[in-house]
Structure 1
């Protein structure tokens, strides 16, 4: 089970990452571009999930930027117990994550991939090289 503290630790370990509050929730950015954020469900989200027969999350929810709609749909299909979406995110490359159901390794990969999508190319290339992934 992951927590927002785990997200904070993973996100802030990446270069040029900062944390801010947006609408009362934690939001992590790289070079002023958001890549992961705390996303409490709104009433409309809950109504849409109930109508679709999707169980409401028990704990914290994380919004995560993904590369594109294809990646989004793959995550949603691969593990609907962890990943979900609401109509608010239709057409937007992001998924919602039930933190109480994701393991730390999977969370780390998700946060890093989101960061790579938003980080400047020179910064991401340098980080990948440091990790032996470049």
Structure 2
């Protein structure tokens, strides 16, 4: 099953990737200056419904389309979610605490799809045909 280290390794292994450190120490993976995997800092839109405590471990993955987002979020077998703050934003959220529910091969596809959704057409084509 997947771990946070797997997310980092998979994102960093994609071509033309830059890993940035956000102002609060969170890691942001970009391709061509566009984020595709983003380790969020605790935010009020993602919090424990019982305590209100902000989740400290939310990872954002970009997706290609609303259909892709909807498929991940609505599938009861996956731990992906979204919040009203992300209505219309082509991304899904996942708590690192739930990564163990995703096989590494599936996580690899999620990271690759995130990269593909943000890479330039030329880079996408080269990677897909390479």
Q: TM-score by structure 1 length?
A: 0.80
- Counterpart for residue 46 of structure 2: 45
- For residues 10-69 of structure 1, give each alpha carbon's deviation from its aligned partner in whole angstroms, at most 9, with x where no partner exists: 1111110010012421000001110011124323421xx628xxxx97x83210001122
Specify every segment of 5 or more residues in structure 2 that has no aligned partner in the other structure, as ranges.
Answer: none
1:1-134 superposed matches below 5 A: 1-24=1-24, 25-46=26-47, 50=49, 60-79=57-76, 81-99=78-96, 100=99, 101-130=101-130
Give the CA RMSD over aligned residues: 2.2
Specify every segment of 5 or more residues in structure 1 that has no aligned partner in the other structure, as ranges.
Answer: none
| Number of aligned residue pairs | 123
Q: TM-score by structure 2 length?
A: 0.82
Higher helix share: 1
